[in-house]
Amino acid sequence: MVSAAWWPFCAAIAVQALVPPEDAPEFQHRGRDEKPSETMQSCRSLPHGVKLLYPPLHSPYPAGRPIMVGCPDGWESKNYSRITWKIMCRGSGGWKAENPPGCKILLCQHLLDDFGAWRGARHFNASQKLSCADGYVVEGVSELMCTSSGRWDRIPGRCLPNGGNAELWRSRLRYSALLSLMSLLATAVVAAVACVGIAPSKAETGQQGRPSLPVAIQPTE
């Protein structure tokens, strides 16, 4: 028979026995043969915009243990003189560092076309696709992928008329320019001939450059 004085103590032991050790916050999840130890709070994910370099750990990251991080693929350091940083989990998902990491997203070059538009994103692993205006088609590559170095994976295409045949397009441009030049020359020649036809001749102006008098015609007998 348990004395009434011991009842609160016994009740507390009974309640604690109902809580599995691995679920209690003051114990780590352990195997059957492992001894319980105090759990240090950890961080489940790295800070945004960095990747783990050393040591090779997996989430969750233990608190109090320093790790080396750097910029992930498709990012670059804001300060090019520093590309790695030492950080440490301080528990509750927070991190601390003497020099906080500074990485920014690396973007590929902005694409432009005179007769079309490139649509899509410009960050790493993103793509852009060229759409041409009515009457124009793409000559070359119409879809590009942004690489981790901030460069497009191929040379961008362009929008051209007439089925995208660049030589045909250029030849027609040259032919059109030639027709315009010939038309201009023809106009100049016609104008020159007209001016010559209007100008008076020497016979009409006389030897001294003055108009000659009309000669009377004598009637015949």
- List domains and CATH numbers for the chain: 42-105 (2.10.70), 116-166 (2.10.70.10)
The model's pTM: 0.48
Q: Percent of the chain at pLDDT above 90?
A: 32
What phi, psi does 12 have (nearest 5°)?
-65, -40
Residue 29 in this model has a pLDDT that exceeds 70: no
In this prediction, residue 130 has a pLDDT band, given cuts at 50, 70 and 90, of very high
What does the block give as tokens for 114? 């005179």
Selection from 180, 178, 141, 184 nearest residue 159 by Cα: 141
- Name residue, tokens 């027609």: 172
Instruction: List Cβ neighbours of 98 (8 Å cut-off, separation of 6 or more).
Output: 86
What pLDDT does residue 145 have? 97
Tokens found for residue 200: 């008076």
Instruction: Report residue 44: phi and psi, to 5°.
Output: -80, -20
Q: For residues 18 and 41, what is the distance between their CA atoms, to the nearest angstrom? A: 24
The confidence band for 21, taking pLDDT boundaries of 50, 70 and 90, is very low
Is the Cβ–Cβ distance between 36 and 24 less than 8 Å? Answer: no
What pLDDT is recorded for position 1? 47
Eight-state DSSP code of residue 70: E
The model's pLDDT over 61-113, given as tens digits with 9 standing for 90+, comes to 888 889 999 999 999 888 777 889 999 998 877 899 888 888 999 999 999 99
3-state secondary structure of 75: strand
Collapsed DSSP state (helix, strand, coil) of residue 179: helix
Task: Identify whether the C-beta of residue 111 lies closer than 8 Å to the C-beta of residue 156.
Answer: yes
pLDDT of 112: 94
